[in-house]
Amino acid sequence: MAQAYMQETGRDGTGPERAGSRARRLMDQWRGRDVWRRGVVLAVLAALLGLLMLLHTHLPNKVGNLGSLTETFLPWLGLGIPVLLVLAVLRRSATALVALLLPVVVWTNLFGGLLGDKSAKGGNFTVATHNVNAENPDPERTAKDVAASGADVVALEELKPSAVPTYERALASTYAHHSVQGTVGIWSKYPLQLAQPVDIRMGWTRALRATVKTPQGPVAVYVAHLPSVRVKFNAGFTAGQRDSSAEALGRAIAREPEKKVILLGDLNGTMNDRSLAPITSQLRSAQGAAGDGFGFSWPATFPMARIDQIMVRGMEPVSAWTLPDTGSDHLPVAARVKI
């Protein structure tokens, strides 16, 4: 009997009985009124995190564009949830754990739909857009990488004038038609008509509009590179010029007579950013409708935000994805739609 007991529990006194004793002690630590009294500060932080995500549209933009800055990186606020969860467990605070339900529910409601793969088969028109970076050391490689996507139409932004001939040569065998307006360009397998610059209040051309004559009918394609934004210590999120250009681009799209419209480009803003509402209120995000995950595109070395957008009207997004690094500071993005 003694030998059997020793085999069951172990010579060091460990075994089922010892493990059960530890479990009981652990459970005892989560009983009583103290578990509700501890961690009040953590509970407050959890509630504030949830309210920040829930009420982000009410954050003012008058002070350093705080609202737009928060909305640009809004998904990343979810990282605070596992941190607070670990601290709540270590603190053995039931109050903090309950309070964490608020940010969990809010984040899931906002972004849970982006976690799965919504892509489907089919579609008959593929497009891609890429900010190639004016300081790109190998534009020929970048052009060939984008052409390898199989897109019917490719939009390029931040074209350096001296590099345009390189892009034209590299893409000529795949795309028979193209137009470059200022620092943006469009390359197409199908004929282009009415290619012209679009005034987005920049002082120079960073947007264009062209009609692509697809086998399914005409499609108006806009290519745009909205002004950059900066985060400055003394000024906050400086996005005034970007916001003005977004308003001008939105007005141009609103006047578009074609029923089928695609916007391709670097908008220097995410779909959550309220300042892009003149555009996002009219068009549907291909990534949001048919993407796989968040589809972050910038910066290429460690993507943290999707500021390169493909948006449509009058057609159905089927799939959307990011392409591999081409040497630019942005990742190319692509989408397939059904016209």
Q: What is the pLDDT of residue 229?
A: 82
231: pLDDT strictly greater than 70: no
Angle (CA) 54-55-58 rounded to 5° is 160
User: Per-residue pLDDT for 59 more than 50?
Assistant: yes
Q: CA 267, CA 314: separation in Å to the nearest integer? A: 21
pLDDT on residue 25: 60
Flag whether pLDDT at 5 surpasses 60.
Answer: no
State the CATH class of domain 125-338: alpha beta
- Residue 1, pLDDT above cutoff 60: no
Please say whether the dihedral angle defined by the alpha carbons of residues 292, 298, 300 and 303, taken in this order, is positive or negative.
Answer: negative
Average pLDDT over residues 150-175: 97
Is residue 32 very low, low, confident or very high in pLDDT (cuts 50, 70, 90)? low
Tell me what percent of the residues of the chain surpass a pLDDT of 90. Answer: 79
Asked if residue 236 has pLDDT above 90, the reply is no
Average pLDDT of the segment spanning 219-235: 81
User: Mean pLDDT across the stretch 311-337?
Assistant: 97
Q: What does the pLDDT look like over 182-223, one tens digit per residue? A: 999 999 999 999 999 999 999 899 999 999 999 999 999 999
Asked if 7 and 14 touch (Cβ cutoff 8 Å), the reply is no
Among 26-40, 60-74, 85-99, the minimum mean pLDDT is found in: 26-40
Banded pLDDT at 138 (limits 50, 70, 90): very high
pLDDT at 107 over 50: yes
Q: For the whole model, what pTM was predicted?
A: 0.86
pLDDT of residue 67: 85
Residue 65 has pLDDT above 90, yes or no: no
Q: What percent of the chain has pLDDT over 70?
A: 88
More confident residue, 309 or 32: 309
The reported pLDDT for the residue numbered 21 is 66
pLDDT band at 235 (very low <50, low <70, confident <90, very high): very low
Antiparallel, parallel or unpaired: β 308-313 and 177-181: unpaired
User: Which part of the chain is CATH 3.60.10.10?
Assistant: 125-338
What's residue 97's pLDDT?
A: 95
